Amino acid sequence: MNDAHLHMVFNHFPIIGLFFGIGILAYGIFKKQTILVNIAYVIFIFCMIMAKATMMTGEGAEEIVEELGISHDIIHEHEEVAETFMKVLYGLGILSVLGLVANFKKHSRAAIVSYVVLISAIGTAVFSKSVGTSGGEIRHTEIRENSTFQNNVISVENESKTDDD
């Protein structure tokens, strides 16, 4: 297993985990179940750790993919978005640690922390679309905005609309 393979294995955990964590956290807040809130915090911390593992394999994956003839520019764009995403995930992870501590100490503001984490997690999940899409575009040329495949589909759709008129 090389760095490119590891990178693809690791990169799904932070993105998918965010959505599971958000669902569990929202349900835990709604049901006032501290155990569910804590599980969501642990999931967010795990997402942060897996994102770090993803970043650690990114450089090796970049070298392998560049040897396949993929443009450095598209890889660099993904790298920039991923670095920003990692910083956002660090923030979410730190907030989650604070939430765990607040819950374990039964702090009076623990509920407020859970709402802050929920809002932060939702923002992080929205941002995850950018990092996931930019990474996917590296090898999946059909999802690029200017892809030949996409342009051909649009042309065929336009031709069929013209034929129908």
Domains of the chain (ranges; CATH) run: 3-164 (1.20.120)
More reliable by pLDDT, 122 or 1: 122
Mean per-residue pLDDT, 80-106: 96
If you write DSSP's letter for every residue of 58-103 in order, what string do you get?
HHHHHHHHHHTT--HHHHHHHHHHHHHHHHHHHHHHHHHHHHHHHH
The predicted-structure confidence for 37-48, as pLDDT tens digits, reads as follows 999 999 999 999
Mean per-residue pLDDT, 146-154: 55
- pLDDT exceeds 90 at position 145: no
Q: What is the pTM of this model?
A: 0.82
Nearest-CA neighbor of 15 among 134, 99, 116? 134
Contact 128, 83 (CB under 8 A): no
What is the band of 122 on the pLDDT scale with cuts at 50, 70, 90? very high
- Residue 37's pLDDT is 98
- pLDDT exceeds 60 at position 155: no
- Residue 81's pLDDT is 93
Q: Taking the CB of residue 33, how many other CB atoms lie within 10 A of it? A: 13
